[in-house]
Amino acid sequence: MTAAGADGLDAIREAPSGAVLGFDFDGTLAPIVDDPAAARAHPRAAAALARLAPLVGSLVIVTGRPAAVAVEYGGFDGIDGLVVLGQYGLERWESGVLTVPDPPPGVAEARAKLPGVLEAAGAPSETYVEDKGQALAVHTRRCAEPEVAIERLRSLLAALAERTGLVVEPGRFVLELRPPGMDKGRALRAFIADRGARPSAVLFAGDDLGDLAAFGAVEELRAEGVPGVKLCSGSTEVTALAERADVIVDGPEGVVAFLDALLDGAA
């Protein structure tokens, strides 16, 4: 644990009702699995969040998933006070109410052109396209050589994103074509600004490249005097987050154990 992270954790313990706790979903609250549709939250994740919700100022999940999908796969419906910001902050779910903007026209254009691009790239048949409405995620985890497959796609998908006014969001054996202008850092900052009150402390837990922006938001808040914790759900697939983290735990099991310890006064 870094000294700044320990300060952040102390501040959460001292004034939990003013703290904002944020979490990524896949790889942080939900173990990584081969099939994106088969991902489910760790069996103790929803219970830990339900215990935390009445104690802390705000509890928010910021995910690349559509908000409704994260709620369903997480088993989060019914957790009072939990907010889920989906599609990197474009969508919002709270108390069963879902707000989803219309996708930009570039998504439809990219959807139409993607099969041709995958064919031109010689993408293996196991390449999987997850259509998220606001974004298209191209997964190679199920390919025989997922790293080779993703590298083969990188430049062609970047060109398709540019042609359609989208951006490429890289992740764990996935390249997503999604609208520009939002990321997890902006989403977290906007969520905190909307609350009105300056938080007593902030924590964000993540595992993947998309979570770096949220770590950046924690760093900015720290520079503004808000104590903060950057918690990394560690994996061998992504190391960039561990390099920026205050504390590294062993995947979703470690994240849930960290929350249980925080709740029991042992973290």
Ligand X SMILES: O=P(O)(O)OC[C@H]1O[C@H](O[C@H]2O[C@H](CO)[C@@H](O)[C@H](O)[C@H]2O)[C@H](O)[C@@H](O)[C@@H]1O
Distance CA 65, CA 37 (A): 11
Question: Of the listed pieces 25-33, 97-105, 108-116, 217-225, which binds ligand X according to CB under 6 A?
Answer: 25-33
Question: Cα 38 to chain center, whole Å?
Answer: 17
Per-residue interface string for the shown chain with ligand X, residues 209-248, x marking contact by CB under 6 A = -x--------------------------------------
Position of minimal CB gap to ligand X: 64
Q: Which is nearer to ligand X, 12 or 135 (CB)?
A: 135
Q: How many residues bind ligand X (CB under 6 A)?
A: 24
Distance CA 249, CA 231 (A): 8
Distance CA 142, CA 224 (A): 43
Touching ligand X, residues 68-127 (CB under 6 A): none
Is residue 25 close enough to count as binding ligand X by CB under 6 A? yes
Touching ligand X, residues 132-191 (CB under 6 A): 132, 137, 139, 141, 171-174, 176
Backbone torsion region of residue 21, taken as left when φ is above 0, otherwise alpha when ψ lies between -120 and 50, otherwise beta = beta
Q: Which is nearer to ligand X, 11 or 183 (CB)?
A: 183
Is residue 204 close enough to count as binding ligand X by CB under 6 A? no
- CA neighbours within 13 Å on the CB side: how many for 159? 11
Minimum CB distance to ligand X, residue 142 (Å): 8
Burial class (CB in 10 A: 0-12, 13-18, 19+), 96: exposed
Is residue 67 close enough to count as binding ligand X by CB under 6 A? no
Is residue 22 close enough to count as binding ligand X by CB under 6 A? no
Q: Which two tokens stand for residue 227?
A: 């104590």
Cβ atoms within 10 Å of 75's Cβ, excluding its own: 16
Q: Which two tokens stand for residue 91?
A: 């969508």
Question: Of the listed pieces 34-42, 45-53, 197-205, 254-262, which binds ligand X according to CB under 6 A?
Answer: 34-42
Burial class (CB in 10 A: 0-12, 13-18, 19+), 177: buried
Minimum CB distance to ligand X, residue 18 (Å): 26
Which parts of this chain interact with ligand X (CB under 6 A)?
A: 24-27, 32-34, 36, 39, 63-65, 130, 132, 137, 139, 141, 171-174, 176, 208, 210
